[in-house]
Structures are given as C-alpha cells and as structure tokens.
Amino acid sequence: MTQCLNPNCLKSNPPETIFCQSCGKKLILVEDLGNGIELEMVYIPGGTFFMGSPDNEEEKKENETPQHEVTLPPFYMSKYPITQEQYQVMMDKNPSIFRGKNRPVENVSWYDAIEFCQNLSTKTGKIYSLPSESQWEYASRAGTTTSSSELVNDDGNYPDAYVPKKEFRKETTDVGSFLPNTFGLYDMQGNVWEWCQDIWHDNYDGAPTDGSAWETQGDISTRVLRGGSWYYISLYCRYAKRSYDYVDFHSNVMGFRVVSFVSRS
C-alpha cells in the first residue's frame, strides 16, 4: 500500500498515488515482509544532477572524476539501510556483529544483498535491486551541492574542512538515529557502507548518464560501496566518496539498501 507522510491525508489518496492530492507531500510505499515487519520505500523524484567531485573540492580523488551530468527517472529507495529484523524475516538468518533488530544488517556480501533483492522481488511481485551508483549519489545529495553532512555515525575523532570533531561510537546505531536528508532518507552517510549494483571502475570515463548501473567492462568480482561507515573518518562519508570490495567479502562495516521502479500504470 502507499501512504502520505501526513497520516491525516491518507484517506484522500487512491492506491499508487505518487503525490498526496491534499497536501502535495511525497508518498511512501510500504511493503509487508511478514511477522509484522514492514519495509518503507521513499519516492525519489526524477531529476538531473552533477555526479562526482568538482575540481575545487578538497580531498577529491581521481576516481570521483570527471564530474558529469546524470539524468534519472523517478524511483523508490528504502528509507533506511536494510535492518536486521528485515533481513532476518526475508533470509532466515542474521549475520550481523553488532546485534539489534533496528540496527542495519552488516557483515553481508554483495551476493547476500543480491539474494535479498531476489527474495523480496519474489515475495512482492515487483522488481527490487541494489541502487545504481548514480541513484545512490543523487538520493544521498538530495539537491545539495555541498561535500558532506555533519549528522552521521562515523569516526568523529578526525574533523576536516567540512565537519567538526564529534563522538566516535565505535559501532553501528539504530537506523533513523540522525536527521533525514531533504528526500526523507536516513543514514545515507556513515553507519554502514552500502553496496551498489555497479561494477567498480577507476573513474567515470564512459559512465552511464541515464541513472542505470554500470555493469560493462571492469572486473565483475568487484562492486561499488558508498556512504562510509561507523568506522571511517568524515572524509570517507562525503557524498562523492567511492569505494569497492569483492562480491563475496563480508565485514561489519558493510550493509545495503534497495530500490524499485515507479509504476507507470
């Protein structure tokens, strides 16, 4: 079902309405995963943005260049990183090191994340996948052109030009513990690195400009990670920061979130 961010407007909207007809606010797609556990998917409007680091960004890495324009259609993205209770109900296991039903699932490989998406697609009859790298950065930036956000769970002992010194919690936190971005997404920086669909490439030369995942060329055994984590300093939580690992690698700094298409029917 879908529901307005304002519950008072719920009854005024027919099923699958993208924007509330009363207040104009975004809708959230809610999937029932079973056992009373739900998955909230936030509507992300389509648009155009500049992906990667501009020439004047401090700590810019060559793999974040060249900055290029990407135009994406609308999509849904999970409001939070997939939690341990969501993973448990879909996969019948919980590999996480830092236990807590509302903490992000971690210690999952790219293959594990793909299997979750396949199970979710089978259960719902919809197509769920990992986000493309451009979907991830577009949703993370949410219209901003700054470098990063202060409101993240990271190693706060090392301030930089953008973020002051803050607490280092030394573990994951419950999803939603910090304020959301403008799109209504939580924990896009810090907490856990998030797997993307894309194969790793050393730079953006030849990257898609339509929001799709880059799954040609490169080494198919390595996939992109985004967002930084509780263990990494603030510079690793910049919007443009990129990393990667092997598809079968597990770590307590790695999790994921999912996306789905917007129905046009």
Domain ranges of the chain: 49-261
CATH assignment of 49-261, among 3.30.70.100, 3.40.50.1980, 3.90.1580.10, 3.30.70.80: 3.90.1580.10
Provide the phi-psi class of 155: left if phi over 0, else alpha when psi is between -120 and 50, else beta: beta
Instruction: Count the neighbouring beta carbons within 10 Å of the beta carbon of residue 127.
Output: 11
Q: Give the residue-averaged pLDDT of 183-209.
A: 96
Residue 265 has pLDDT above 50, yes or no: no
Residue 157 has pLDDT above 90, yes or no: no
Residue 246 has pLDDT above 90, yes or no: yes
The first and second tokens of residue 174, run together, are: 């419950």
Q: Give the residue-averaged pLDDT of 132-137.
A: 98
Confidence (pLDDT) at 27: 79
Say how far apart CA 97 and CA 114 lie, in whole Å: 20
Percentage of the chain modeled with pLDDT above 90: 67
Residue 255 has pLDDT above 80, yes or no: yes
Buried (b) or exposed (e) across 29-64, using 16+ Cβ within 10 A? Answer: bebebeeebebebbbbeeeebebbbeeebebbbebb
Sign of CA dihedral 187, 173, 200, 52: positive
Q: Give the residue-averaged pLDDT of 2-18.
A: 58
What are the tens digits of pLDDT across the range 97-122? Answer: 999 999 999 999 999 999 999 999 99
Number of H helices, E strands in the chain: 3, 12
